Amino acid sequence: MSTAFFGNIMATLPTSISTTTISAGSSATTSSVTASAVNIRGGTLTYSWTRTGTNCTINTPSSSSTTVTGSGVAGTTELFCNIRNSVTGVAYSTPSCVITWTVSIPITSVTFQYSNDGTTWTNIPAGGVGITYDSLTYQLRVGSITPAEATYNITTQETATNAGQTAQMIIVGSGSYTGTFTSPILLITQRTITATNSNYFEGAFQPDSCSFFSSVSGFNITLGNLVNGATGVSLSVLYGTSYASATLCGVSSNINVEGAVSSLIGTDPYQNVIYNTNGVKTFYTNFNNVPAYFWCVINSFDFSPSYNSNYSSPILSFAGSPAPFYNSCQT
């Protein structure tokens, strides 16, 4: 078989192009166009994109795929690719893609909205918005755009659920429409737990109950502002003459063990209990032979088994200062 005859066969081998028509704004960048060919002889295929008609920029002229950027002039460009086989040296062309460049229309304004259920949407203020953690996932969308018929692509679309997370959305005009717009930031902020005890007397919280032959003190803590059913927070009990020097209590069924919470009453776990509902919670303490001071901290960095960053870390206090729980029950 002659070389010329072989070349004629190669010249007729099928080629293809991923799209044959594109419409874009005169200054826009098109979507990607891909050229392909059947390579029955092995070797390496090389690509060379070319164009005729209205001036434009082929962004990757030696790749199998390329995008094209308009020059700002309306008109028509015919784009095709010459593919050459390194073994045969024969080049052959793909079908053409006709790009119609239309006059670019700027997008002048965009408003963004957020929602936690996909049904009710609220405009994001220009300065952004902070949402107190509620365990829900917040998403963003375009609320309105000018011109109303403008088309766009979403390049970034984030969601946020936990404290410290942010959500933002970025859109870029498509087709004949130009402009890039970034939404204000939506930030999930930490939720503040409330923890109170009203039985306060002479510098300390007093027992709400005395149990087990009046040897075990029960202290009621009212937790509030938790998201019921979401990941909970722990309640930790410390022991010491001051909060600064207090250490985490152990657990004991012996009422004479200093600095211990009681396992005589209640259910396991007796220490670092995790709560994910609001309401009255009770912890019990041993050791009442001498003035015994206990302290309570919710969601502690230092003593909780699993600090929950969606919430604050309150210490039960009176008049702004940590206050002790005084075991005054008598044997």
**Which class is domain 194-326?**
mainly beta
pLDDT beyond 80 at 8: no
pLDDT tens digits for 179-226? 999 999 999 999 999 999 989 888 889 999 988 888 888 999 999 999
Cα separation, 146 vs 151, in Å, equals 10
Q: Strand 279-285 relative to strand 247-248: parallel, antiparallel, unpaired?
A: unpaired
pLDDT tens digits for 42-88? 789 999 999 999 999 999 999 999 999 999 899 999 999 999 988 88
pLDDT recorded at residue 153: 93
Report, as an integer, the average pLDDT of 266-294: 84
CATH numeric code, 3-103:
2.60.40.10
The residues of the chain that CATH labels 2.60.40.10 are: 3-103
Cα separation, 64 vs 36, in Å, equals 7
Distances (CA, A) of 112 to 19, 126, 131, 263, 298: 33, 9, 16, 55, 37
Per-residue pLDDT band for 288 (boundaries 50, 70, 90) equals low
Per-residue pLDDT band for 293 (boundaries 50, 70, 90) equals confident
Give the pair of three-digit tokens for residue 161.
Answer: 């659920």
pLDDT recorded at residue 211: 86
Report, as an integer, the average pLDDT of 239-244: 88
Cα separation, 238 vs 259, in Å, equals 8
Give me the long-range contacts of 123-130 (CB less than 8 A, separation at least 24): 124/183, 124/184, 124/186, 125/184, 126/184, 127/184, 128/184, 128/185, 128/186, 128/187, 129/184, 129/185, 129/186, 129/187, 130/186, 130/187, 130/188, 130/189
State which amino acid sits at residue 187.
L
The residues that bridge with 248 in the sheet, in sequence order, are 238
